[in-house]
């Protein structure tokens, strides 16, 4: 994964003129697209692309027992798999620290804003609740997985239908998919990741840029304009001023991302369409 020093040099010298290797300006995202409803058997799903980065999220709804300390809430379980078909160094096996960190960043962003109204997800209070399994599948990694995975997660939740829970004659709870209602979603959240290289801030770093980044700050923004999470990654640091500037940029760019989600929700798509226009 060592990028020649010469490439770093050219990235830096172009940034001096506010330009990036792929022609973008510092605050510009790559092309973004979101397709919802691509996995028909899942209760909710979405595929998000940012440039060549592809993230697929499927949501399954099941029945389980609540956490003892939260007996009157449904359960949301967020998991991320960096499957080995997505990148040469991704390996089979349990999620590594990067996949765990990504899942937890998204999980916290959803939780802190009460994005899913888990209090409405109880079936029998204290005994049976809905479990919302949100599984993130990275299919192609070209940098900035966080923003793509958050986009796909948010769109998939908005695409989710919750089957009606019915007790059978033995008292077992079964889910009836024929009577399903939209998942209660309180509000929306996106993540805007901002890289720092040569002291400059750039939005949506691609893989090539990530390899020369000094540090990165992923900022979760709610659709009510609040900061709903931050995570600094990378081996270097930010100054307070840089953090403040990054928050400002994130607030700005979040609007674009919310618009992309809005557009995507207008009509469900197919995986065939979503994957094919990769060329």
Partner 1 sequence: MSSEDKIVLIDEKGRRIDGRGPEDLRPIRMEIDVLKNADGSAYVEQGGTKVIAAVYGPREVHPRHLAFPDRAAIRCRYHMAPFSTSERKSPAPSRREIELSKVIREALESVVFTQLYPRTVIDIFIEVLQADGGTRCAGLTAASLALADAGIPIRDLIAAVAVGKIDGVLVLDINETEDEHCEADMPMAMAPSFNEIVLLQLNGVLSPEETSKAIELGKKGIMKIYELQKETLKKKYELSTRRSQVVT
Q: What does the binding site for partner 1 look like in residue numbers (CB under 8 A)?
A: 39-42, 45, 52, 54, 56, 58-60, 62, 69-70, 79, 81, 83-88, 92, 94, 97-98, 100-101, 103-104, 108, 112-113, 133, 135, 137, 139-142, 217, 220, 222, 225-240, 243-244, 247-248, 251, 271-272, 275-276, 278-279
Q: Look at residue 170 and give the partner it binds from partner 1, its own copies, none, a contact being a CB closer than 5 to 8 Å depending on partner kind.
A: its own copies
Q: Look at residue 279 and give the partner it binds from its own copies, partner 1, none, a contact being a CB closer than 5 to 8 Å depending on partner kind.
A: partner 1
Q: Look at residue 167 and give the partner it binds from partner 1, its own copies, none, a contact being a CB closer than 5 to 8 Å depending on partner kind.
A: none
Q: Look at residue 230 and give the partner it binds from its own copies, partner 1, none, a contact being a CB closer than 5 to 8 Å depending on partner kind.
A: partner 1
Least distance in Å: CB of 171 to its own copies?
Answer: 10
Least distance in Å: CB of 247 to partner 1?
Answer: 5
DSSP for 45-102 reads: EEEEEETTEEEEEEEEEEEEPPPTT-TTS-EEEEEEE--GGG-TT--SSS--HHHHHH
Contacts with its own copies, 162-191, as mask; x by CB under 8 A: --------x-x-------------------
Q: Which residue in 24, 37, 30, 5 sits closest to 272, CA to CA?
A: 37
SS3 160: coil
Count of chain residues binding its own copies (CB under 8 A): 5
- From candidates 9, 10, 119, 126, binder to its own copies by CB under 8 A: 126
Judge whether 212 and 200 are in contact, CB under 8 Å. Answer: no
Q: Which residue in 185, 227, 187, 180 sits closest to 74, CA to CA?
A: 185
| 53-64 and 44-50 beta bridge pairing | antiparallel
Q: Which residue in 260, 38, 19, 270 sits closest to 147, CA to CA?
A: 260
User: 95 forms bridges with which residues in the sheet?
Assistant: none
Least distance in Å: CB of 17 to partner 1?
Answer: 27
User: 166 forms bridges with which residues in the sheet?
Assistant: 174
Query: What span, in angstroms and rounded, lies between the C-alpha atoms of 206 and 193?
Result: 11
Q: Look at residue 172 and give the partner it binds from partner 1, its own copies, none, a contact being a CB closer than 5 to 8 Å depending on partner kind.
A: its own copies
Judge whether 45 and 31 are in contact, CB under 8 Å. Answer: no
Q: Look at residue 185 and give the partner it binds from its own copies, partner 1, none, a contact being a CB closer than 5 to 8 Å depending on partner kind.
A: none
Give the residue with the Cβ less far from its own copies, 63 or 83. Answer: 63
Give the residue with the Cβ less far from partner 1, 94 or 171. Answer: 94
Query: What span, in angstroms and rounded, lies between the C-alpha atoms of 214 and 199?
Result: 8
Q: Is 228 left (phi over 0), alpha (psi -120 to 50) or beta?
A: alpha
By CB under 8 A, name the binding residues for its own copies. 68, 71, 126, 170, 172
């Amino acid at each position: 994964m060592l990028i020649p020093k010469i490439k770093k040099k050219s990235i830096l010298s172009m940034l001096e003129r506010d330009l990036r290797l792929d022609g973008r300006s510092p605050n510009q995202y790559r092309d973004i697209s979101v397709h919802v409803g691509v996995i028909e058997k899942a209760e909710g799903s979405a595929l998000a692309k940012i440039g060549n980065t592809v993230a697929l999220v499927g949501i399954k709804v099941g029945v389980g027992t609540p956490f003892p300390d939260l007996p009157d809430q449904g359960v949301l379980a967020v998991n991320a798999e960096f499957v080995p078909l997505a990148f040469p160094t991704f390996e089979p096996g349990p999620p590594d620290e990067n996949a765990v960190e990504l899942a937890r960043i998204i999980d916290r962003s959803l939780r802190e804003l009460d994005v899913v109204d888990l209090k409405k997800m109880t079936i029998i209070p204290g005994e049976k609740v809905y479990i919302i399994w949100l599984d993130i599948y990275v299919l192609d990694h070209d940098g900035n997985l966080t923003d793509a995975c958050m986009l796909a997660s948010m769109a998939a939740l908005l695409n989710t239908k919750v089957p009606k829970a019915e007790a059978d004659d033995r008292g077992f709870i079964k889910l009836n998919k024929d009577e399903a209602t939209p998942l209660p979603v309180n509000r929306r959240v996106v993540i805007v990741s901002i890289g720092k290289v040569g002291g400059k801030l750039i939005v949506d770093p691609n893989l090539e840029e990530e390899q020369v980044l000094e540090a990165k700050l992923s900022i979760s923004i709610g659709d009510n304009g609040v900061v709903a999470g931050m995570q600094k990654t990378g081996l270097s640091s930010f100054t307070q001023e840089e953090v403040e500037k990054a928050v400002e940029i994130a607030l700005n760019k979040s609007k674009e991302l919310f618009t992309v989600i809005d557009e995507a929700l207008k009509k469900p798509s197919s995986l065939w369409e979503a994957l094919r226009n990769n060329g």
